[in-house]
């Protein structure tokens, strides 16, 4: 069989599974439940280097809002614009914060890149902290795109085989990377090749696909802040979001109410979250608006954003801040 063909790669993954896992029937892990903030990357004022001086204060502030986890080096953290070495430095810094050391914050490390070599490099770096991290998440390469759920499943298997003792999550975000495969099919195929593929960050509105994931026992975390209560109805265990950096208490309350069976109350609070996200998106700069509200509301400076992401223009700050103030969403 020719080296590098689809059939040859799949056969190799099957052989690797038997070699790595043996007769292991499954994979024991503790599913993440609750609210996880998709963290920003603190940068210098010129944006050309990371500035990690405020990371511990940032971590403690998240805990004060009811956040119980962090998703590091994801979309909110501009992962595709941050170098591999910088991403390692960022993980190292978060790992050392008091809330992570004490177990108050669980951590998922995103390792997705356009190069499989970089993905595996970052995965191996994260594996140094196997006793601390919740897992790693993988967003697929998106310039040369995988063509099917099978392709994405085999990507997840490659990562999982490299770090067989660590849970692996698929990061599904089709509106950003253009890869819109069935997540349920992807995860089920991946699990046959690597039992430590255990869940997903699901950033999409296809809740039928999401519900198939939850029904098949995967640890699903929704990545759509403005649809949290509806995702809970679809069976997710928790959520990962950008607004949880500065209105964590609202969203923690939504989860708490829903899990206690107060579904109407949860959906009513969700309306406030949905309206907030509407105003954020209306600025035309989602990342910049959230970055501004975090610094304004929480009083922690995170420096600049890296091109092609920009901070929010001054003329857009006042109406956004007024809306948050009028709604009494100071989250204190």
Q: What are phi and psi of 240, to 5 degrees?
A: -125, 125
Rounded-to-integer distance, Cα 170 and Cα 139, Å: 6
Beta pairing partners, 50: 43
Rounded-to-integer distance, Cα 331 and Cα 324, Å: 10
Angle at 193 between CA 174 and CA 26, to 5 degrees: 110
Angle at 88 between CA 145 and CA 106, to 5 degrees: 90
Structure tokens of 124? 């191996």
Rounded-to-integer distance, Cα 121 and Cα 115, Å: 10
122 phi-psi bin (left φ>0, alpha ψ -120 to 50, beta other): alpha
Selection from 326, 311, 327, 324 nearest residue 246 by Cα: 324
With 0-12 / 13-18 / 19 or more C-beta atoms within 10 angstroms meaning exposed / middle / buried, residue 205 is: middle
Among the residues of 163-247, which ranges form H helices? 174-177, 183-193, 207-215, 228-233
Give the residue numbers annotated as catalytic, written as ranges: 171, 201
Q: Report CA torsion sign: 171, 68, 248, 232.
A: positive
């Amino acid at each position: 069989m020719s080296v590098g063909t689809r059939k040859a790669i799949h056969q190799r993954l099957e052989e690797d599974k038997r070699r790595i896992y043996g007769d292991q029937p499954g994979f024991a892990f503790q599913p993440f439940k609750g609210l996880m903030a998709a963290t920003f990357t603190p940068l210098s004022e010129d944006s050309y280097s990371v500035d990690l001086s405020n990371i511990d204060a940032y971590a403690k502030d998240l805990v004060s809002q009811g956040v119980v986890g962090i998703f590091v080096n994801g979309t909110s953290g501009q992962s595709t614009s941050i170098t591999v070495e910088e991403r390692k430095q960022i993980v190292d810094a978060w790992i050392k914060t008091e809330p992570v050391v004490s177990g108050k914050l669980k951590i998922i490390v995103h390792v997705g890149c356009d190069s499989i070599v970089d993905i595996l490099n970052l995965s191996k770096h994260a594996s140094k902290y196997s006793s601390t991290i919740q897992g790693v998440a993988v967003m697929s390469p998106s310039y040369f795109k995988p063509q099917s759920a099978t392709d994405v499943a085999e990507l997840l298997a490659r990562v999982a085989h490299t770090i067989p003792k660590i849970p692996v999550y698929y990061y599904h975000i089709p509106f950003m990377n253009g890869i819109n495969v069935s997540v349920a099919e992807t995860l089920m195929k991946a699990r046959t090749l690597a039992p430590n593929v255990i869940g997903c960050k699901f950033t999409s509105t296809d809740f039928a696909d999401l519900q198939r994931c939850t029904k098949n026992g995967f640890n699903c975390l929704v990545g759509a802040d403005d649809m949290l209560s509806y995702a809970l109805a679809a069976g997710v265990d928790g959520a990962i979001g950008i607004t949880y950096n500065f209105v964590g208490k609202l969203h923690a309350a939504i989860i708490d109410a829903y899990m206690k069976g107060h579904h109407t109350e949860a959906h009513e609070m969700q309306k406030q979250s949905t309206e907030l996200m509407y105003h954020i998106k209306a600025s035309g700069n989602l990342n910049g608006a959230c970055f501004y509200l975090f610094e304004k509301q929480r009083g922690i400076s995170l420096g600049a954003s890296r091109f092609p992401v920009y901070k929010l223009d001054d003329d857009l700050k006042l109406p956004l801040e007024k809306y948050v103030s009028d709604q009494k969403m100071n989250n204190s």
